[in-house]
Structure 1
Amino acid sequence: MRHLREAWALTKPAGSGRHGPLPPALLVLTVVTGVIDAFSYLFLGHVFVANMTGNVVFIAFAAAGAPGFSLAPSILALISFAVGALVGGRLGHLQPHHRGRLLWRATLIEALLVLGAYGWLQAADRPLGGISRYVLIILLGVAMGTQNAAARRLAVPDLTTTVLTLTITGLSADGRLAGGSDSRAGRRVASTLAMFLGAATGAVAALSVDPAASVLMAGALLTAVTVFGTRLLHASAPWTAPPQ
């Protein structure tokens, strides 16, 4: 029951804990990651725009001559993500003492990039290829890099929004069976399920409706977080300060 209460607490937008309303916003951004990576892998040619570990592996596969993988998209995704991380890092330095303002600025930029990708996708010829494919990789890669850097600066435990390896490791390594005292299972399972939900709904929307539907879905979620973030711009509660 404790873990269920812990997971439920993450969904409350008026959270009163150390991280205030940030956890539910980051859960939504985790859903966005799943949606966007589902689209990019299924329609941009075996490339992730959020999961850079996967891209490094894909580059190795392409270099080894494995069929179905190519160097250029994965390398471009890595570069675009790094540029986005630079943007997110700069935002963090511009707002080092107020996490609410950082969240708002980062999601605003990300929403504009993803909605720009949706507009480009609507105008692009199908199937996607050539310049259209590369423009989408750049827009989405920069967006996800910005998100990841901002989430890193917000520093809410187990809610990195793009990486689950350490989260899933912690479920086992910090649990009682491993000799630990607190696996934080509630928040870690919630983060994992958010990614799964995003990937599943993104794939269904892209495959059953239209590829643009998944990108539009991500853009709508980001817009919702941005609107929510306007409520946090002038907050002065303790959660706005970065963790020590």
Structure 2
Amino acid sequence: MTRTERVHLTLMLVLTFTTGINDAVGYLGLDKVFTGNMTGNVVVLGMALAGGTGLPVLGPALALAGFGAGAAAGGRALSRDPRPWGPRTTALFALVGLVMLALATVLATASRTHTVDVVITTIAAIAMGLQAATARHVAVKEVTTVVVTSAITGLAADSWFGNGTGGPWRRRAGAVALILLGALAGAAMLHWHLAAPMFVAGALILATTAAGARAA
């Protein structure tokens, strides 16, 4: 692995940690909506449509649409950039961090209503879709920053109990551990203030962006 590849891997793992934070805020603090893990939203939406569960329909549906829109925008913006990390990559990651800080400011200052919660989770999902598409462009194998199901599958399938090849188990295990720790940290910070986890996530994303830009 080259130095650049090691740097990119580390930065994508940090972004995976922030996804855990944001999902804890969306699900526990706002409207039972995942802003990064769209598999969770599909499941929540399916159960909600069955009725009688008390789960939201509008929030997950808008988050799914928003995530898709953000990912499409990121893909379009990077479609003609051959570099894994160029100025556009920096700009997009920085935008995600700034959006998180702006949403945290709203949570810290605005009156809470269901409409406000839905708007915040939708915008956060758009930002997470943008981040996911940008991370996909950086192309660190096994680390998407928003989902770890594939990492868990790879860990199990390539383990001693599976085909025995091992595969890139360290980065897979790291992605799983970091999204778990991010969710733990986000849930813990909610006891302090609803805005705190998003402030931390936004700051970490901007720090990651600065480190990536410097390395590039």
Indicate whether the TM-score tops 0.5: yes
CA distance in 2, matches of 1:155, 1:97: 10
Partner of 1:204: 188
2:73 equivalent to 1:90: no
Q: 2:32 aligns with which of 27, 32, 46?
A: 46
Q: Cα deviations across residues 40-59 of structure 1 (Å, max 9, x unaligned)?
A: 00122211111111111111
Aligned length: 216
Q: 1:221 aligns with which of 182, 185, 204?
A: 204
Partner of 1:154: 138
CA distance in 2, matches of 1:44, 1:167: 28
In the TM superposition, residue 84 of structure 1 has moved relative to its aligned partner by: 0.9
Q: Cα deviations across residues 4-56 of structure 1 (Å, max 9, x unaligned)?
A: xxxxxxxxxxx834624111110110011000000000122211111111111
Q: Is the 8 A contact 1:40 1:47 kept in 2?
A: yes
Pair 1:38–1:177, CA change in 2 (3 A): same
Q: 1:56 aligns with which of 24, 42, 57?
A: 42
CA distance in 2, matches of 1:215, 1:132: 15
Q: Is the 8 A contact 1:111 1:223 kept in 2?
A: yes
Q: 1:28 aligns with which of 9, 14, 27?
A: 14
CA distance in 2, matches of 1:189, 1:133: 33
Partner of 1:231: 214
In the TM superposition, residue 155 of structure 1 has moved relative to its aligned partner by: 1.5
Q: 1:106 aligns with which of 92, 109, 115?
A: 92
**TM-score, structure 2 length as denominator?**
0.93
Q: Is the 8 A contact 1:164 1:192 kept in 2?
A: yes
After superposition, residues 106-145 of structure 1 pair within 5 angstroms as 106-125=92-111, 128-145=112-129
Q: Is the 8 A contact 1:176 1:183 kept in 2?
A: no
In the TM superposition, residue 180 of structure 1 has moved relative to its aligned partner by: 3.3
Q: 1:37 aligns with which of 4, 23, 41?
A: 23
In the TM superposition, residue 103 of structure 1 has moved relative to its aligned partner by: 3.6
CA distance in 1, matches of 2:85, 2:161: 36
CA distance in 2, matches of 1:200, 1:84: 26
CA distance in 1, matches of 2:68, 2:194: 25
Partner of 2:147: 163
CA radius of gyration, larger in: 1
Q: Is the 8 A contact 2:94 2:209 kept in 1?
A: yes
Q: Which runs of 5+ in 1 are unaligned?
A: 1-14, 236-244
In the TM superposition, residue 177 of structure 1 has moved relative to its aligned partner by: 2.5
CA distance in 2, matches of 1:159, 1:192: 9
Partner of 2:159: 175
CA distance in 1, matches of 2:104, 2:66: 17
Q: Which moved more, 1:30-39 or 1:55-64?
A: 55-64
CA distance in 2, matches of 1:164, 1:71: 24
In the TM superposition, residue 94 of structure 1 has moved relative to its aligned partner by: 4.1
Partner of 1:74: 60
Q: Is the 8 A contact 1:83 1:145 kept in 2?
A: yes
Q: Cα deviations across residues 90-143 of structure 1 (Å, max 9, x unaligned)?
A: 232142334243541221110111111112112221xx3232112211221111
**TM-score, structure 1 length as denominator?**
0.83
Q: Which moved more, 1:223-232 or 1:96-105?
A: 96-105
Q: Is the 8 A contact 1:32 1:198 kept in 2?
A: yes
Q: Is the 8 A contact 2:73 2:130 kept in 1?
A: yes
CA distance in 1, matches of 2:163, 2:114: 53
